[in-house]
Amino acid sequence: MSTIFNKNELKNIFYILLGTICISISVVLFFIPHNFTTGGTPGAAILLHKLSDFSVGTMVIAINIPLLIWGMKYFGKLFALKTVITVALISIFIDLFSYTLNFDLLISNILVAAIFGGVIIGFGVGFIIKGNSSAGGSTIIAKIIASNSHIKPAQVILISDIIIVVSSIYVFKDFEKAVLSIMSIYATAKAIDIVLTGTLTTKVIHITTSKPQELGAQITKRLGHEGTLIQGDALNKQDDKTLIFMVIDVKKLGELREIIEQTDKDAFMIVMEASEMLGRGH
């Protein structure tokens, strides 16, 4: 048991270290040189850096210390310790890279910098979450508010990001850069999803049909897929249907449509995203 625990913790440490490096490099190489911001603690720290003589790393610490003290009782001891270490590493790496990575402009196009920088920060945050830690800032506020109200954490994070973006208009005197910040935050959110849920090309399919046996036989014969039959009652109690539930690769979706049209033109199909799959080899 202790060996498994140690292996898991070593993996978590690796993810946290990798995540803090990604966030720090992105801030130093893409956001600070172009004078625009992103969401969360790094974004707030960049704004405060522009308004004061303190480094971005120092501002990361200054923002998080009171939040960590405030939210300590809402975290477990291990999670709180990891968050403190994560925040400290982000602060140290940002200041270290600011002095050692002396690139004038790694990417001169600010639009590309916004998207690429947002993606790298997203990867960083995703790795930190996989390491069972937090990058601090708005995530701490979100956890505290969610614990004391019916407001969802994602809503709190969204509001805090909006405040940062609106504040950037005042700091940088540039509305276009605020729009770029929004694009960067969107890229960050997408990158976090990729790290946490992967890039599945699988779709979840729900087919309502009155010919489940015929349709199921054709799907198995032509696509080689298995599914689950779910019996249900129609609302009007006069036209009972059977629901076929299955997952399928997106490349086979076109052929599945053909099978449905040929076998049961009255069938109803819903296609949904599969964000994560576990079991049966996945």
Task: Name the residue ranges covered by the structural domains of the chain.
Answer: 2-197, 202-273
pLDDT value of position 280? 54
Which residues does residue 228 pair with via DSSP β-bridges, in sequence order? Answer: 245
Q: What is the DSSP letter of 28?
A: I
pLDDT value of position 3? 47
State the Cα angle at 173 between 172 and 175, rounded to 5°.
Answer: 100
pLDDT value of position 278? 61
Collapse the DSSP code of 247 into the 3-class scheme (helix H, G, I; strand E, B; otherwise coil) and give the result: strand
Least confident of 37-41, 207-211, 227-231: 227-231
| Percent of all residues in the chain with a pLDDT value above 70, rounded to a whole number | 86
Residue 67 belongs to what H/E stretch? Answer: helix 56-71
Q: Which residue reads 């990361």 in tokens?
A: 60
pLDDT digits (tens, 9 = 90+) for 149-179: 777 776 788 888 889 989 999 888 888 889 9
Tokens of 168: 């950037």
Residue 1: pLDDT over 50: no
pLDDT digits (tens, 9 = 90+) for 198-212: 666 678 888 888 888
Radius of gyration of the chain (CA): 24
Q: Could you give the CA distance from residue 138 to residue 160 in angstroms, rounded to a whole number?
A: 7
| pLDDT, the chain, mean | 82
Which of 97-101, 140-144, 180-184 is modeled with the greatest confidence? Answer: 180-184
Q: Which residue reads 């199909």 in tokens?
A: 269
Q: Name the architecture of domain 202-273.
A: 2-Layer Sandwich (3.30)
